[in-house]
Each structure stands twice: as C-alpha cells, then as structure tokens.
Amino acid sequence: MSEYKPLVVVGDVLLDEDIEGVSTRLAPDAPAPVVDVTGDQRRPGGAGLAAALATRGGRDVVLVTALGDDPASEAVRRSLRGRVRLVELPLNGTLPVKTRVLASGRPLVRIDRGGGDPGEPDAAVRDTLRQAHAVLVADYGRHTASAVREHLAAVAPKVPVVWDPHLKGDAPVPGSRIVTPNAAEAMALCRGDGDSLRAFAERGADLAERWRVATVAVTLGERGVLLTRPGAATPMLVPAPYRAEGDACGAGDCFAAATAAALADGALPEEAVQRAVAEAAAFVAAGGAGNPSLWRTPPSAPRREAPDADPFLLAEQVRARGGTVVATGGCFDLLHAGHVGLLESARRIGDCLIVCVNSDESVERLKGPGRPLNPLPDRVRVLAGLGSVDAVAVFDGDTPAELLSRLRPDVWVKGGDYSAEDLPEAEVLRGWGGQAVVLPYLDGRSTTLLARRAAEAATPIRPPGR
C-alpha cells in the first residue's frame, strides 16, 4: 500500500462503447435512421469511470470490483492499468457491455449485453477497506456492493463513505456520510408531490432518516444539488456555477468521485458538495465520459514544478498530451484559507493549474495606495510553493486578458464573489473555445479583512506608569 491512505472505490464496472457517426437518411426498409460510422471508442464505465475520475490530481485510488476472464473484463483491465490499483472479486459470468450509437453527438439507441454475479470477497478486500482514507460506493445494481456489504458496514463509522445508489441495488449502509441519488431515483424511492424543490427536500430528509445516513445529496441536473439531513426543515441548495452544455454521460460518477475526494481531504459535507458540483459542471462542459483526453494518458503522481516553471511551456506540454489547462488569477496579497480552497478546487478540474498574478503596479491601481502589502517576488514565491499550483505568470494590466490570449487555458476559474457573466475574461476565452467558471468561495475571508484585523491588533501598548 502507499504511505498515504487511498481513496477506495467499490462497485460494478461496465464496459462502455460509443459508436459515433452521422445520419442523413432513413433506411429503405424501415423508418430507422442510417448511421455512417466515423469512429468508436471503448472505456470503463460505472465504478471504473468513477475510479478513473477520482485519480485526477495524482490521487491514490484502489478499485474493488468483480472482473472475469471475458474480453470485456480484459479491456477494462488494460484501460485502468497505471491509473488505479485493482482488488478483484471473481465474476461468475461476463462483464456487462453498454453500447451507444450516436449521430452527430446525440444518442440514438443503447444496446446492453452480458452480465454476471460477483463471488465472495477475500481478505484483500477487507484489508483494503480498513486502510481507506475515504470510500466511494458506485452501485450499478450488479451486486458488488451487496457482496462487500459486511466490510462496508464495518468501516462506515470510521471513514467517510459516499454511496451512489441504484434502484436495483442495496440500500446504503447506516452511517454513510453522503448518499447521492439523482432526481429520478429519489422520486422512485420516496413518493412525493411533484418535482418542486420542497418535494425533493422532503424526499431527501425522509431517505436520510430511513437509511440512517448523515446527509442525502439529491442531484437535480441544471438546478444543482439539494443537500438534506434527517428531520431538517431547511436544506442547502448548491446551484451549478454555470449551465454546462455537453454530454452529461458520467456526470453522476464525476459528482460522486469529487465528493468522496473532498471528504478524504477533510472537507465538510457542504464544502464537498460545492466542490463536486463545480467539477461535474466542468466535466460535462469538457465532453463528459466521451472526452478522449480522459483516457489518452494515465495521470502521473503529484509532482511539483520548480517555482520558476515556464507557464507557457507548461501549458503547451499539457495540451500536447491531450490534457486540460486550468488558470486562475488575482492579487493574492495575503494568502488566506479562501485562496487555498479555491486553488485546490481549481487544480482538480484539469491537469495543471497556472496562477496569473497582478504586478505591484496593477495591484496599486486596483486596490489603492498602500497595496500590495507583499511585493511581487514574495507573492510569487508563496504561490509557487503550494502543492496545487504548477506555475505562476505575472501581468501588468487591470485584467489578465492579454496574458490569457498567450496562455490559452481551457478553463478560467474565479472565486464565488464573481458571476461568470461579469468576468471580462469570459469573452476572451470564447475566442479559442475556453470556458470561464466560478467556484464556491469561503465566506468571510479576504485580504482587506485580514489587514484590518492586523492593524487593530497592532495598537501600541502604553508602558506602565504613563
């Protein structure tokens, strides 16, 4: 095992196939579209996709699943090799294969084949779960979670467990930290009146009480995620940071994996869901599970770039290997918890994070005399020393628009005190197909407040006798 405790994913792996093409006519013998195939791809689905997504950023991930000797199982092993460590249960039967036929990116039909039952778990499964930093159960109704249920129940009181349920699967084990049904699953599992937020809030609270879990996060698509607790009258609604246009296939897996990763990092459930909503939106905008860059190269272990890493060369190298370049910017005068949380979340979106920092002259124009409190070399050195930051670039203007035109990042990130529509950088990014996003920001943290508190604390103490 790694010296770091891994994130363990337990669940049913599938093999997903996409047959892509164009359709311009109907078949002569039936009113069915004819698809001229232009390409196809195969990739792990279900718990396999969730595990692969959880590795982003170099995280150590172990996948507990049932695999057999069939060609589909071998294809999954090849795809996951170098990404995740496999702890296998025997599979009695064949691995399920789900084939989508798409025309111009739109699914026309799905064909399901194969299936089997998992065998008994061995001691390796028990030991793996005992050493987990967090556990994600990706239940696709194929009974892997059922086979491992006893071991999952044993670790739930000790480590965070995120359970992504399925209507054909088991109920979550009591004590799970977060359960993530989607809207259709919540409606099927718990009757209610309509699809209003109030109806889903009641369903979520009822399910949390029925399952005896800490929280239920009902995913509502474009409306975001509703976080509910047993008996709580007022839920928390975490809206999506923007409307993501793209293939939503795998979005639920991305949300669940990001939630589990955040809990493993010590986030509270509310913080974990905020991060996961933003990551799922970025995932959909980038093409969902069908995005080829997800599978081109295995993620490397976390590595630190030198503080003087060339941001332009780094961006070019990441793009060349099919990766996603993420950038964010700001003054970063006094680095505080809000900054750190933002940078960590931004880094998880892609394959590198470049921070664009205002020069001293730019900060003074924006913030007024007396700012920055820390000169540019100090600010750059502190940022470059963070594990989430791969490179730092400096700009002199009031906005980083000119710098972004040279970097050409795929994603531009700002904190939650902005709206994506108000960002002047958003229009610049559209020039090369980039996307501006807003991530949640820790309230009550700002350089101005820190400076004010420091000034108040520095009030001179009068010497005795005077």
Residues serving a catalytic function are 253
**Residue 386 tokens, joined:** 């963070």
Please spell the DSSP secondary structure of 378-421, one letter per residue.
HHHHHHHTSTT--EEEEE-SSSSHHHHHHH--SEEEEETTS-GG
Q: What does each C-alpha distance from 285 to 35, 241, 415 come to in angstroms?
A: 25, 12, 19
Do the beta carbons of residue 334 and residue 373 sit within 8 Å?
yes
| φ/ψ of residue 366, rounded to 5 | -80, -40
Q: What does each C-alpha distance from 202 to 56, 220, 221 come to in angstroms?
A: 34, 14, 18
Count Cβ atoms below 10 Å from residue 122 Cβ, excluding itself. Answer: 12
Count Cβ atoms below 10 Å from residue 306 Cβ, excluding itself. Answer: 8
In whole angstroms, give the CA distance from residue 164 to residue 61.
17
Task: Please choose, from the candidates 36, 82, 39, 44, the residue with its C-alpha nearest in 3D space to the C-alpha of residue 65.
Answer: 44
271 SS3 class: helix
Give the residues across from 118 on adjacent strands. Answer: 91
Judged on CB neighbours under 10 Å (0-12, 13-18, 19+), 213 is buried
20 SS3 class: strand
Q: Going along 211-280, which residue ranges are E strands?
A: 215-219, 225-228, 236-238
Which amino acid, one-letter code, is at 264? A
Count Cβ atoms below 10 Å from residue 418 Cβ, excluding itself. Answer: 15
